[in-house]
Amino acid sequence: MPQPRREAAPAKLNLSLHVTGRRPDGYHLLDSLVVFLELGDMVTVAPGPLSLRLTGPFAQGLAVEPDNLCLRAARLAGREARITLEKNLPVASGIGGGSADAAAVLRALEARPERLETLGADVPVCLASRPVRMRGLGEILTPLPPLPPLAVLLVNPGCGLSTPQVFKSLMRRDNPPMPDPLPDLSDAGMLIGFLQDCRNDLEAPAIALMPEISACLAAIRAEGAQLARMSGSGATCFGLFAGAAEAEAARARIAAANPGWWVATSGLAPAKL
Ligand SMILES: C[C@@](CO)(OP(=O)(O)O)[C@H](O)COP(=O)(O)OP(=O)(O)OC[C@H]1O[C@@H](n2ccc(N)nc2=O)[C@H](O)[C@@H]1O
Ligand SMILES: Nc1ncnc2c1ncn2[C@@H]1O[C@H](COP(=O)(O)OP(=O)(O)O)[C@@H](O)[C@H]1O
């Protein structure tokens, strides 16, 4: 690695998240449509001894040592590097943050260590960073045929939510999976129609822990979103809109009415593989 290398860490979005079972070790079986956004963190990796510098609007929400996922990823790969993380995404927010950062470090280092999943169940999907159906604990990845362009609005109530706590609060753990095979999702109408029949099974337990999530979903629905749902274990919610202009108008109104919320718009990231 003679030159510093910049690598995007796109935000992950669970368009659906079905929890279909629970293993004896407490981990849950998932069935999720996962896409990645243009919006995300940015990782820069340069030659030198292992270190991490944090910049960006959410840097203050993160401790550098000893457990930042950027450092853990480099250590797992057995590599030294001077890493800079521009933290643009809220921390512990259901859109992949730390897992996306770890995956970006591994891509920048061109390293694919074994036991990737020890960094986090979401790291394999974030390494792929393309639309997939994700099953198992997160390690069974089936690439999806190209999806239509999406205009996404993200709304976060401004506080983090612990992933283990949300899973712990889940009442029912054996919910139905998505159909197999999936229907044709290549057209926006068909994709949204299909997603309306899907769920995020973590939404109810997350709302029970953090009622502000309901307010985020209500604000997105009030703006006329075609679909409003929570991503991952929350608390970030998303809306799908007919186009970027509609999503941007909704962003501006929601942000003006809710100064403590993080509100952003994005399209899908270009496919990497
Ligand atoms: C829920 C999801 C859906 O994409 O997203 P996020 O909310 O994190 O974005 C992921 O499965 C989260 O992945 P990740 O955040 O990497 O999880 P990990 O660090 O491995 O696990 C955190 C905790 O979540 C629970 N967990 C995670 C994954 C899984 N399949 N079953 C679980 O029960 C476990 O309690 C675990 O201790
Ligand atoms: N680079 C990182 N970015 C975000 N969170 C990190 C990072 N490294 C470690 N963490 C820790 O991981 C936890 C959850 O992070 P995150 O992956 O953002 O959650 P989620 O996947 O729900 O968005 C936080 O408590 C945070 O302190």
Check residue 177 and give its pLDDT: 98
Check residue 61 and give its pLDDT: 85
Which ligand lies nearest the alpha carbon of 160? 2
Write down the ipTM of this complex.
0.96
pLDDT per position as a tens digit, 252-264: 999 999 999 999 9
Place of tokens 């250590």: 75
20 lines ligand 2 (CB under 6 A): no
Regions of the chain with pLDDT less than 70: 1, 272-273
Question: Is 45 one of the annotated binding-site residues?
Answer: no
Question: Is 16 one of the annotated binding-site residues?
Answer: no
Q: Whose CA is nearest to atom 3 of ligand 2?
A: 98
**Separation between Cα atoms, residue 112 and residue 53, nearest integer Å:** 23
Question: Is 94 one of the annotated binding-site residues?
Answer: yes
pLDDT per position as a tens digit, 86-124: 999 999 999 998 999 999 999 999 999 999 999 999 999
Check residue 273 and give its pLDDT: 43
184: tokens are 């044709």
d(CA 74, ligand 1 centre) in Å: 20
pTM of the model: 0.97
Q: Which residues are catalytic?
A: 12, 122
**Separation between Cα atoms, residue 92 and residue 254, nearest integer Å:** 21
Q: Whose CA is nearest to atom 9 of ligand 1?
A: 94
1: tokens are 């690695």
Mutate to test the pocket of ligand 2, among 36, 37, 89, 91 (most ligand atoms within 8 A of CB): 91
Check residue 27 and give its pLDDT: 96
SS3 label, residue 31: strand
Please say whether the dihedral angle defined by the alpha carbons of residues 159, 165, 167 and 172, taken in this order, is positive or negative.
Answer: negative
SS3 label, residue 58: coil
Helix, strand, coil abundance in the chain, percent, nearest 5: 30, 30, 40
Ligand 1 surroundings by CB, under 6 angstroms: 14, 17, 27-28, 30, 32, 94, 96, 99, 120-122, 137-138, 163-164, 167, 232-233
Which ligand lies nearest the alpha carbon of 41? 2
Phi, psi torsion values for 72, nearest 5 degrees: -65, -35
Residue by residue, DSSP assigns 131-174 as: -EEEEETTTEEEEPPPPPP-EEEEEE-SS---HHHHHHT-S---
Which ligand lies nearest the alpha carbon of 22? 1
Q: Whose CA is nearest to atom 24 of ligand 2?
A: 92
Q: What domains can you pick out in the chain, each with its CATH number?
A: 5-266 (3.30.230.10)
Question: Is 92 one of the annotated binding-site residues?
Answer: yes
Residue 111 burial (C-beta neighbours within 10 Å; 0-12, 13-18, 19+): middle
Check residue 3 and give its pLDDT: 84
Phi, psi torsion values for 91, nearest 5 degrees: -85, 145
Check residue 123 and give its pLDDT: 97
Q: Whose CA is nearest to atom 33 of ligand 1?
A: 27
Closest by Cα among 248, 258, 230 to 166: 230
